[in-house]
Chains A and B, each alone.
Chain A
């Protein structure tokens, strides 16, 4: 197993290297220029030239890339063209919000998706199965921003049950310490602050988690139906095992494998979905940061964030693969 992990990590290096070149070229081929984006209507040819020189954009592309790569190899992800903040420091303040949102969405998707998918799979073609099919179809079909705005309109604007935007109500005066709103609220020791932070998470988590919820429900259902018809399940029943034991030891344990794979893939999808969700719910996360960076041609920020996303995606997939081995003793990595 350790050799497998090392091999996977080493194998990721050329992927990341290739990605960095592709990204660099792609961003520099986009129309527009960071200097004019920064200066806006105040741009003059002289100012544009000076800003480009200060940012190193007057250098040949390969020089710019090598400089970027050199910094990257020294662990320096660079600084924003627009506000000069280092990517590392900004990431440290924004990533917690994205993690909080993604975790909330995952808890919603897994916490509801697996039990409901399991129920539907154990009673296929029943009324619950039919209802879940409709709900899943709806969940997959509705764009996140439509669902997000609709949720805010109903539960925030009309009913006033839940907050519309942000991670916490500034009126409560919770100091920003960890940038995890719920943890910061817990640190104050005030239940009202914790309830407020959790309430702020509910709508965005549902908006972001609905697509993975629908997918996980469907995959779990299909996996349960598949496994339930296997010979070894019939054998287990023939041995006289209780239905509960058959379900937990023989059906669900084997049905977990495809579900695990999907959860791993959905983490990548959630990071993509967070871009939209954070904009709709005004969360100060990595997603909305990327949007601003793209709008401003902030190459350094976009390059670095996409690389970070790629690393996260690779790590999650590695964890999923390792998880297989624990779930299925027949799988052994060497």
Chain B
């Protein structure tokens, strides 16, 4: 229960002493046309808007957020806290059906776009009667302004370095972007012309960072001021901040303490307007024990996440654990095939297959994870677009010994080091030390001599793992969007500058080409075929061992009703109401 922050506390003390849809949409709605990319629109039942009785109007919901926002301009953020808040305020052309991680639905678009046969032209028809929270109209010019703004960020400026997603999705800013042009032939129509087909285009546009803001507010509030130290809009200190079209409006941000949103009284989708008057996000609850106690005492009504180790305590004190449905993450055992130029034992496929068979992953799920968490059957969760279920090695000591025997490892080579992170809790890794010990025990049974080593997550581990300094290590990936590309290309095995990802040193040119083909496929069906081929190759090579697909646990008090959880934490509070 006593959590990760105390490592940092000790360091600090040392220093101190030395000194002395919606509708249709992104928020839940009644009945909304939905579609997966590349398919036609189909009607889908809407989620329930209440969990008990008739919704009560009004009240303030206190939400314990995992940490503070980075910036109040969603264009400049990539952290989960900022995105969680922004989801209530800004909306994009498309969004995710509430409670799902990959069902793309139109939000500010009136319907899913028409896509040209070559996959390079997307034409959106916009909703009518929508206004931004500052009263200015939402129209095609506003869409064009927002996209051109992002495309025009100087990659060397604070704006460019903080906008992670635009260049990640479109390949770069300016002329490097895959977007050739965005035009507005009339007030309700926007046309995107792409250089190359891009199969993740629609799914990636569900990200809150592509939420559209009022051009008037962006201009009058000088939202593009650099350096960011002088940018009041980015810091939520301008007269108007984060001006979107969503059911809640930005009111106040006291950094490190709270963010306050209030109901948008002029929300365009009246059937899905917010029940609450106000949401206050408490961002000071960095410590998991403090967060649980705040929930139990009623100081907060809702915790975005709680520690997996606190779930039982939360349930026994009458709190409701959030059902988050489909997972959108993957925890894995990384096996780096080369440290610098030097190959490791993990370059031998037999070793990787042997290790995969040596791990009793089902027992790990039972011991360390929640009832809805599962052993993966690929390198992404099943609900991901492009997922293909593979037959991966299952626990068998006999198979492990056989594979490892074929590798002919020396005694010295069997002395291995397994790294795990300290001072961190992740949904895919709620208890890294115990998980590492369980894995070490299984590997010992398979004939290895395992030494466990740990590094601090923030100060060393992430850097050392991602730059290829760790030979065998626990790690994971939480989706940006639930597409195969986000996992196996961006997160794991896509080549960077023509080289394999240093984290794994895994080189398979055919697999990389399959992924590039998938990304550039004109239709989703074609992309899915390519993603499937790439996953087949991964299953043959086992470059890492997938350990778990989990969902982050969260909780709320008995006062809270109408909440719809999602495994990717894209969640909306317009349906939430408080009983008296």
Contact = CB atoms under 8 A, between A and B. Distances in A.
Interface stretch (A222-230, A244-252, A279-287, A325-333): A279-287
Q: Which of B16, B227, B228, B462 has the most CB of A within 10 A?
A: B16
B52 interface: no
Nearest to B461: A32
Interface stretch (B255-263, B339-347, B370-378, B393-401): B255-263
Contacts of B297: 152, 156-157, 160, 163-165
Contacts of A156: 293, 296-297, 299
Contacts of B282: 165-166, 170, 282
Interface string A162-185: 011111011101001001000000
Contact of B11 (A149, A153, A281, A294): A294
A43 B466 contact: yes
Contacts of A268: 16, 20
B252 A272 contact: no
Interface in B463-522: 463, 466, 477, 491, 496-497
Given A50-B156, A163-B299, A164-B294, A275 B9 contact: yes
A272 B11 CA distance: 11
Interface stretch (A122-130, A132-140, A207-215, A295-303): A295-303
B70 A170 contact: no
A41 interface: yes
A32 B71 contact: no
Interface in A35-66: 36-37, 39-45, 47, 50-51, 53-54
A313 B235 CA distance: 31
Contacts of B155: 50
B280 interface: yes
A196 to B, nearest CB: 11
Given A157-B297, A309-B16, A279 B9 contact: yes
B134 to A, nearest CB: 22
Given A50-B155, A156-B293, A295-B8, A32 B460 contact: yes
Q: Which of B160, B227, B235, B299 has the most CB of A within 10 A?
A: B299
B284 interface: yes
A263 to B, nearest CB: 15
A254 interface: no
Interface string B269-282: 00000000000101
B410 interface: no
A2 interface: no
Interface string B25-52: 0000000000000000000000000000
Interface residues of A, number: 77
A19 B234 CA distance: 33
B13 A275 contact: yes
A170 B16 contact: no
B459 interface: yes
Contacts of A54: 156-158, 161
Contacts of B463: 32-33, 36, 43
B229 A282 contact: no
Interface residues on B, range: 35 or more
A186 interface: no
B-side interface mostly: mixed
A90 interface: yes
Interface stretch (A3-11, A81-89, A233-241): A81-89
B256 A94 contact: yes
A320 interface: no
A1 interface: no
Q: Which of B18, B70, B290 has the most CB of A within 10 A?
A: B290
A50 B157 CA distance: 9
Given A31-B460, A156-B299, A170-B280, A23 B15 contact: yes
Given A84-B231, A153-B293, A165-B285, A279 B15 contact: no
Contacts of A163: 297, 299
B298 A160 contact: yes
Contacts of B1: 149
B459 A149 contact: no
Q: Which of A22, A275, A279, A280 has the most CB of B within 10 A?
A: A279
B462 A41 contact: yes
Contact of B12 (A79, A90, A294): A294
Contact of A170 (B60, B161, B228): B60
A288 B234 contact: no
Contact of A307 (B19, B78, B456): B19
Nearest to B19: A310
A224 B227 CA distance: 59
Contacts of A276: 6, 9, 13
A51 B161 contact: yes
A179 B255 CA distance: 11
Contacts of A19: 18-19
Interface in B430-471: 456, 458-460, 462-463, 466
Given A170-B258, A272-B17, A313-B20, A84 B228 contact: yes
A90 B258 CA distance: 14
Contacts of A107: none
B26 to A, nearest CB: 23
Interface in B292-326: 293-294, 296-300, 317
Contacts of B366: none
Contacts of B19: 19, 23, 306-307, 309-310, 313
Nearest to B463: A36
Contacts of A281: 290
B10 to A, nearest CB: 10
B520 to A, nearest CB: 20
Interface of B: 1-2, 5-6, 8-9, 11-13, 15-20, 60, 62, 68, 70-71, 78-79, 155-158, 160-161, 164, 168, 227-229, 231, 234-235, 252, 254-258, 260, 280, 282, 284-287, 289-290, 293-294, 296-300, 317, 456, 458-460, 462-463, 466, 477, 491, 496-497
8 contacts: A152-B290, A165-B294, A165-B300, A268-B20, A275-B9, A296-B458, A297-B458, A310-B20
Closest 9 CB pairs of A and B: A313-B20, A284-B257, A32-B459, A84-B228, A164-B297, A282-B284, A170-B280, A310-B19, A156-B297
Given A85-B235, A171-B60, A279-B9, 15 more contacts: A32-B456, A32-B463, A43-B462, A152-B297, A156-B297, A160-B297, A164-B297, A176-B254, A275-B12, A275-B13, A281-B290, A288-B284, A288-B286, A295-B458, A295-B459
